[in-house]
């Protein structure tokens, strides 16, 4: 028998979420963001759940090649661009659209021998200060790109630092408008948070990631509560042992939990080597037999422990929901001081995965 932990991935939830995003995005086309192995879900496993998308965005060349080899013929966007001039042979062969964020990339495209012009996304740095040309150079870089015979369609791209919080996208968006509002090009600015909160930024293409997987860009489930998203990843395990604690008994490494009265705890086959956050404190929510309870003590590599006080019926083999249908990954992440993105991406390869249509 395998360890009882397993993840279920619901392709129907992906399809559903994509259709909701489409409703929000209006006439904009959709780059479904599947970087980081589809946010930890497994690109090969799940991309067909998103095959109604207009294109896939990712940043690993291997992942782009995988999509092509599995039959995706539509657009693919490399969100970080290419990393060295030699990569252009693959971009040409597989017809990949690339972000261009630096002078050297335009020079390399100009110097390359291509079978056809490459479509590019000109990344403008409007305040995030990671990738991109200084926003004030938008016009000059656009003119340069348009002048190159190896360059096909040019789309303007930028990325918001605060679309998911109260600072908002306004200041960055104003900078983009001021520097590039007059340029006759297609535009692509909005991530999940901007799709939900800043419809004025939608334009021609949007780039949803986290909402496709059914989680919140801000980490606050209230933000997506009325959207009707469904979680794609459901992580389950079982109680594999029960301990009856007396008052004063401790649990786990560092004895971080001390029972104030007699109660039972359950030992769950799930630990940080499965992707559960090691820093989740006592009190992190978890469901046993469908009843909400919480972790107690440190998370171990292969096990975690839960308070069974709210679930007196719990026994060996009781079902444990770690996150999914009834417990948003955002709530587990918030308790652990992180975001749903990180937990999804961290799902360990040793966890068996079942894909449900
Ligand atoms: C990851 C990423 C996205 C998607 O972000 P979400 O917050 O998951 O919607 C969009 N654009 C770029 C450039 C990204 O790197």
Span 136-162, pLDDT tens digits? 999 999 999 999 999 999 999 999 999
Assigned CATH topology for domain 10-220: TIM Barrel (3.20.20)
Which backbone phi and psi does 339 adopt, to 5 degrees? -125, 155
Give the distance (Å) from ligand 1 centre to CA of residue 191: 5
Q: Which atom of ligand 1 approaches the CA of 159 most closely?
A: 13
Beta bridge partners of 122: 100, 156
147, 151, 90, 142: which is closest to 119 by C-alpha?
151
Active site positions, annotated: 35, 253
Nearest CA to ligand 1 atom 6: 209
Conformation bin of residue 135: beta by default, left when phi > 0, alpha when psi is -120 to 50:
alpha
- Residue ranges, CATH 2.40.37.10, the chain: 231-353
So what's the pLDDT on residue 47? 98
Positive or negative, the CA dihedral 344, 346, 348, 349 is: positive
- Residue 159 Cβ inside 6 Å of ligand 1? The answer reads yes
SS3 57: strand
pLDDT band at 305 (very low <50, low <70, confident <90, very high): very high
| pLDDT the model gives residue 2 | 82
pLDDT value of position 226: 86
Atom of ligand 1 nearest to the CA of 39: 8
* Tokens encoding 175: 């900078």
- d(Cα 31, Cα 25) in Å, to the nearest integer? 11
| Residue intervals in the chain for CATH 3.20.20.10 | 10-220
Q: Rg (Cα) of the chain, in Å, rounded?
A: 23
pLDDT of res. 315: 98
Check pLDDT > 80 for residue 1.
no
Does ligand 1 come within 6 angstroms of the Cβ of 77? no
State the Cα torsion 347-351-306-254 to the nearest 10°. -70
Q: What confidence score (pLDDT) does residue 169 get?
A: 93
> Which residues carry a binding-site annotation for substrate?
130, 301
- At 223 the pLDDT is 85
Question: Residue 244: beta bridge partners?
Answer: 264
Q: Please check the confidence at residue 281 and state whether its pLDDT lies above 80.
A: yes
Q: Model confidence at 62, in pLDDT bands (50, 70, 90)?
A: very high
pLDDT at 96 over 80: yes
Ligand 1: residue whose CA is nearest its atom 8: 209
The answer to whether residues 60 and 35 touch, using CB atoms and an 8 Å cutoff, is yes
Contact status, residue 95 vs residue 117, Cβ threshold 8 Å: no
CATH superfamily of 231-353: Lyase, Ornithine Decarboxylase; Chain A, domain 1 (2.40.37.10)
Cα angle 198-202-204, degrees, rounded to a multiple of 5: 175
CA distances from 230 to 14, 68, 140, 182, 234 (A): 8, 28, 44, 39, 10
Mutating to test ligand 1, I would choose from 20, 28, 57, 172 the residue with most ligand atoms within 8 A of its C-beta, which is 57
Tell me how far the alpha carbon of residue 209 lies from the centroid of ligand 1, in angstroms.
Answer: 6
Q: How does the average pLDDT of the chain come out, rounded?
A: 97
Atom of ligand 1 nearest to the CA of 211: 9
Name the DSSP class of 269: S
Q: How confident is the model at residue 225 (pLDDT cuts 50, 70, 90)?
A: confident
Q: 207 in ligand 1 pocket by Cβ < 6 Å?
A: yes
């Amino acid at each position: 028998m395998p360890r009882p932990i397993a993840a279920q991935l619901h392709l129907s939830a992906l399809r559903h979420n994509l259709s909701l995003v489409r409703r929000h995005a209006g006439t904009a086309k959709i780059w479904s963001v599947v970087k980081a192995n589809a946010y930890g879900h497994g690109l090969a496993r799940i991309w067909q759940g998103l095959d109604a998308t207009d294109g896939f965005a990712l940043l690993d060349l291997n992942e782009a090649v995988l999509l092509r080899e599995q039959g995706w013929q539509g657009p693919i966007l490399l969100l970080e661009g290419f990393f060295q001039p030699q990569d252009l042979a693959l971009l040409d062969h597989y017809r990949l659209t690339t972000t261009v964020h630096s002078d050297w990339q335009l020079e390399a495209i100009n110097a390359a021998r291509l079978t056809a012009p490459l479509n590019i996304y000109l990344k403008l740095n409007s305040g995030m200060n990671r990738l991109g040309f200084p926003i004030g150079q938008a016009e000059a870089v656009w003119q340069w790109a348009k002048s190159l015979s190896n360059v096909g369609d040019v789309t303007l791209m930028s990325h918001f630092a605060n679309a998911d919080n109260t600072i908002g996208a306004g200041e960055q968006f104003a900078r983009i408008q001021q520097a590039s509002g007059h340029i006759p090009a297609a535009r692509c600015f909005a991530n999940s948070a901007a799709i939900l909160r800043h419809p004025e930024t939608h334009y021609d293409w949007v780039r949803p990631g986290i909402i496709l997987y059914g989680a919140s860009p801000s980490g606050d489930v209230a933000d997506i509560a009325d959207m009707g998203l469904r979680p794609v990843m459901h992580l389950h395990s079982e109680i594999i042992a029960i301990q009856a604690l007396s008052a004063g008994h401790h649990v786990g490494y560092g004895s971080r939990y001390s029972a104030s009265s007699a109660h039972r705890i359950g030992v769950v086959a799930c630990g940080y080597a499965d992707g559960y956050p090691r820093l989740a404190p006592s009190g992190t929510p978890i469901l046993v037999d469908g009843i909400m309870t919480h972790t107690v003590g440190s998370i171990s590599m292969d096990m975690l422990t839960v308070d069974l006080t709210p679930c007196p019926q719990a026994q060996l083999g009781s079902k444990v929901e770690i996150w999914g249908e009834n417990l948003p990954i955002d709530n587990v992440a918030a308790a652990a001081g992180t975001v749903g993105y990180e937990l999804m991406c961290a799902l360990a390869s040793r966890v068996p995965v079942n894909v449900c249509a």
